[in-house]
Structure 1
Amino acid sequence: MLILGLNKTTLLDYPEHVAATIFTGGCNLRCPFCHNRDLVFARESIDAGIITPYSEDEILSFLKKRRGILTGVCITGGEPTLHQDLPLFLSRIKELGMLVKLDTNGFCPDVLHHLLDEKLIDYCAIDIKNSPAHYAATVGLSSIDLGLLRESVDCLLSLNGSFPYEFRTTIVKELHSEEDMYAIREWIAGTDQYFLQSYTDSDQVISSGYHAHDTDTLQHFASICRQTIPNVQLRGIDL
């Protein structure tokens, strides 16, 4: 595993749990509004001395010492499912008696199926970057195979409440419109919960020039989604 970051304690990343968050390096998308540039361009960041990898044993030793304090571990990125040794690493975390939450962009459905079948994750969050019509531009690519993501989305929808998961979208003023919200809600119809997250600017964003929608617009977007999704919430927004 290429592990490039560790947040030792979080009350936000894993719902209802005191957790640690582990950040993996590398990503198959290039979302221009992503605030983890050093993780996306992992090899360049390492070669430039900007970031230093952790060993798996170093992470596992830390988690072992925190048993009884931490109840969960969030695996995020970058994109964790790109790493072939992810299942083995998660199995070692599970051996410590901790719950595992996976954050993923959903473009490796075979990995998601395997992790679910082997009971190596206890919660999954899939980022829905935008409506299908605007997906490629939103993730910084000229084209993209949405069939892979659709398979992951359908996989979670098919669980019928037997496994906790969420879909979420980071809302960017320059990229997301009312029409996109209508399209997304139809795409993920059948889900129980959906989270809209406000874009936050930082010096780690891949490309500059992006902004958050105002609160009224975000609330309007949420109201659109609530027409078909029971639980729609706003994150990262002071109301």
Structure 2
Amino acid sequence: MIIHGLQKLSLLDFPGRTAATVFLGGCTMRCSYCHNAEIWEVNRPGIMEEEDLYTFLRSRTGFLQGVCFSGGEPLMREDLAEVIRTVRAMGFAVKLDTNGLYPDRLKALLDEGLLDMVAMDIKNEPARYAETVGLSHIAMRRIADSVNLLFGADIRVEFRTTVTTRFHDIHSFEVIGEWLAGADFYALQPFRVSEFVPDATLGTPSRKTLETYASILRRTIRQVEIRG
């Protein structure tokens, strides 16, 4: 496996654990607010291979508690399960970040008990999903299947949205709140401009606006948090 980025220590990516975050290149979405757009292409040169990752993790045994696989979209990698098995055998808990487009691979990981936590991005209400992720069409059935899998999972699950002024409004979160009614946790994170964001003009919502969206979600979701 080619690895495209490594954050050697994060206290935020894997709640409750000190973790390393592994970034795997390749994504089928083209979100204009993505902070990792430079690794959209799976074939671009990486920074290390999996054996280098294992060497690093062995050197952090007793210090790091978990590994977060992020991207890009990690589930694009057919060898992800094999790598996770190795990481778990080394004693690390595993978190997966996903956009939800690969429910079959997500199910396989869940069924095998390879995941301790999953964070799934909810890009927008279904009617605006394709627009928000920069595509002409999106397979919403796959997204819905992943949501349903996570509703039935016996692990920690986080749904989250990066909020922009261009793509999101009150109606967006009214629909999302109905769609994900009964979820345990939802995070709202405001769009921020950074070096690799494809479109810096999307707009960052105010704290007051985020509080309004959070109050809508709290009608149907147990815990809603605003980050950043």
* TM-score of the pair, normalised by structure 1: 0.93
Alignment partner for residue 223 of structure 2, among 211, 226, 231?
231
Residue of structure 2 in register with 1:22 after alignment: 22
What are the within-5 Å matches in structure 2 for residues 108-187 of structure 1? 108-159=102-153, 162-187=154-179
Q: Which amino acid aligns with 1:30?
A: R
- Please give the alpha-carbon distance, in whole angstroms, between the structure 2 residues aligned to 1:76 and 1:157: 20
Residue of structure 1 in register with 2:100 after alignment: 106
Q: Which amino acid aligns with 2:113?
A: K
Residue of structure 2 in register with 1:198 after alignment: 190
Instruction: Detail structure 1 runs of 4+ shifted over 2 Å in the superposition.
Output: none
1:32 aligns with 2:32: yes
Aligned-pair CA distance for 1:137: 0.3
Q: Deviation digits for residues 74-111 of structure 1, max 9, x if unmatched?
A: 00000000000000000010010100000000100001
List alignment gaps of at least 5 residues for structure 1: 47-51
Q: How many residue pairs were aligned?
A: 228
3-state DSSP of counterpart to 2:48: coil
1:61 aligns with 2:25: no
Aligned-pair CA distance for 1:53: 3.0
3-state DSSP of counterpart to 1:201: coil
Aligned-pair CA distance for 1:207: 2.5
Aligned-pair CA distance for 1:37: 1.2
- Please give the alpha-carbon distance, in whole angstroms, between the structure 2 residues aligned to 1:72 and 1:166: 16
- Please give the alpha-carbon distance, in whole angstroms, between the structure 2 residues aligned to 1:144 and 1:208: 23
1:208 aligns with 2:181: no
Cα-Cα RMSD: 1.0
3-state DSSP of counterpart to 2:176: helix
* Contact preservation (8 Å) 1:109, 1:152: yes
3-state DSSP of counterpart to 2:4: strand
Aligned-pair CA distance for 1:187: 1.0
- Please give the alpha-carbon distance, in whole angstroms, between the structure 2 residues aligned to 1:41 and 1:202: 19
Q: Which amino acid aligns with 1:152?
A: S
* Contact preservation (8 Å) 2:98, 2:120: yes
- Please give the alpha-carbon distance, in whole angstroms, between the structure 2 residues aligned to 1:12 and 1:225: 22
3-state DSSP of counterpart to 1:102: strand
Aligned-pair CA distance for 1:10: 0.5
Residue of structure 2 in register with 1:95 after alignment: 89
3-state DSSP of counterpart to 1:73: strand
Residue of structure 2 in register with 1:49 after alignment: none
